[in-house]
């Protein structure tokens, strides 16, 4: 009996995702975006493909794949409809944190249902007044016997309406200094009246996916749901998970940019002005060459970060760089695609218009690029290996 190599397994799953996107996602993407419909049928097919457990170890029911494959999957999904990747985006931050920081009992209790997609996960991190300033979050978790009582509000929560389980960050020590040392991570599940889903957010892009406000009012969570069963570690746990989140955001940006480029190549070869296809005009050729070059540079940064993660190396700086550069390239490329398409790119029936509205999500998601630039600079100043 022959077994496939890791590279063959990676190629197989990526090809399966590519076929799924072309067959099932692309034909309905415009309608899902226009009508802001959450595609439960497509999400069920993603469950069947194992995409809710891409990097979850096989012993807990996942595929146990590497982060290079993880990035490839997000790129392929985003070429068809970036929103569909959101169903598994922050879900994977929850599974990552449980895999790397949860107790053995927590892994066996939560991971199998999350890996199969029986339960959809999310990240309850951002707050109405906090944004990227995670260390100053206001949600509290007070110990009361064998439970914690949680109060606070979380905003911009992907999977908020239809998700079941969330990785929630809350303050367990109000007096801790530095402030982030008083923050803990919990796995919280729906079912108690103290856990309410607030309003659905009407977004410019990233439509066809539930993004909501979550409200916690004297919500009680068992102490065994404290990740690792140790207080004060939540900030570091989530920051580690966000490394993978930034790799997935970078991969999404590459996918959307590539889709915009592909549309531009096709259109430029079909659209004629002055008796020739516009692809023959030097002004268009210059745009196409710059677009392709920048997309490839963004792709290389993304897969470099993923490779370092696979090798067990520190990858926070590389993930931050990849997310920063790829998202900015995505915004630039989608604008250039609009310019190439002219008036046809500005109307709703063109997918280029959707790509342009989706691009800003990658700039502000998983930490705004303004904050990331500061974080990258601080890392460079602290790490002499980058001072060549």
Apex 188 CA angle, 182 and 189, nearest 5: 175
Alpha-carbon distance values, 311 to 53, 304, 308, 314 (Å): 20, 11, 5, 9
Do residues 72 and 123 lie in contact, with contact meaning Cβ atoms separated by under 8 Å? no
Apex 312 CA angle, 311 and 314, nearest 5: 110
Candidate list 231, 243, 318, 366, residue with the active-site label: 366
Do residues 82 and 361 lie in contact, with contact meaning Cβ atoms separated by under 8 Å? yes
Determine the Cα–Cα distance for residues 104 and 101; give it in Å rounded to an integer.
9
Look up residue 22 and give its two tokens. Answer: 């072309």
Bridge partner list, 183? 171
Active site residue 328: no
Determine the Cα–Cα distance for residues 252 and 13; give it in Å rounded to an integer.
17
Asked if residue 207 has a cis previous peptide bond (ω within 30° of 0), the answer is no
Active site residues: 366
């Amino acid at each position: 009996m022959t077994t496939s190599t890791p590279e063959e397994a990676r190629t197989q799953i990526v090809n399966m995702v590519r076929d799924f996107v072309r067959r099932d996602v692309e034909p309905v993407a415009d309608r899902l975006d226009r009508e802001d419909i959450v595609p439960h049928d497509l999400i069920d097919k993603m469950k069947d493909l194992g995409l809710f457990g891409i990097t979850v170890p096989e012993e807990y029911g996942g595929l146990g794949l590497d982060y290079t494959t993880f990035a490839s999957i997000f790129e392929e999904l985003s070429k068809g409809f970036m929103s569909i990747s959101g169903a598994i985006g922050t879900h994977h931050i929850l599974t990552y944190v449980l895999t790397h920081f949860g107790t053995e009992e927590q892994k066996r209790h939560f991971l199998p249902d999350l890996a199969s997609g029986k339960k959809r996960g999310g990240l309850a991190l951002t707050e109405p007044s906090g944004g990227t300033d995670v260390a100053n979050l206001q949600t509290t978790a007070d110990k009361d016997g064998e439970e914690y009582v949680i109060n606070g509000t979380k905003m911009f929560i992907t999977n908020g309406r239809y998700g079941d389980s969330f990785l929630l960050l809350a303050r367990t020590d109000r007096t801790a200094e530095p402030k982030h040392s008083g923050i803990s991570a919990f796995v919280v599940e729906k079912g108690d009246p103290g856990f309410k889903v607030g309003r659905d957010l009407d977004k410019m892009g990233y439509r066809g996916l539930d993004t909501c406000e979550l409200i916690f009012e004297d919500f009680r969570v068992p102490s065994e749901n404290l990740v690792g069963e140790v207080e004060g570690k939540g900030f570091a746990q989530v920051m580690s998970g966000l490394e993978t989140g930034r790799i997935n955001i970078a991969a999404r940006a590459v996918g959307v940019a590539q889709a915009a480029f592909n549309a531009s190549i096709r259109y430029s070869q079909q659209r004629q002005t002055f008796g020739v296809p516009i692809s023959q005009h030097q002004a268009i050729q210059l745009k196409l060459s710059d677009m392709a070059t920048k997309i490839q540079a963004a792709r290389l940064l993304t897969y470099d970060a993923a490779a370092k993660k696979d090798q067990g190396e520190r990858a926070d700086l590389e993930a931050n760089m990849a997310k920063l550069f790829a998202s900015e390239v995505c915004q630039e490329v989608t604008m250039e695609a609009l310019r190439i398409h002219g008036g046809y790119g500005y109307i709703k029936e063109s997918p280029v218009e959707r790509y342009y509205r989706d691009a800003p999500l990658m700039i502000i998601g998983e930490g705004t690029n303004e904050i990331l630039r500061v974080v990258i600079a601080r890392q460079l100043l602290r790490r002499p290996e980058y001072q060549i």
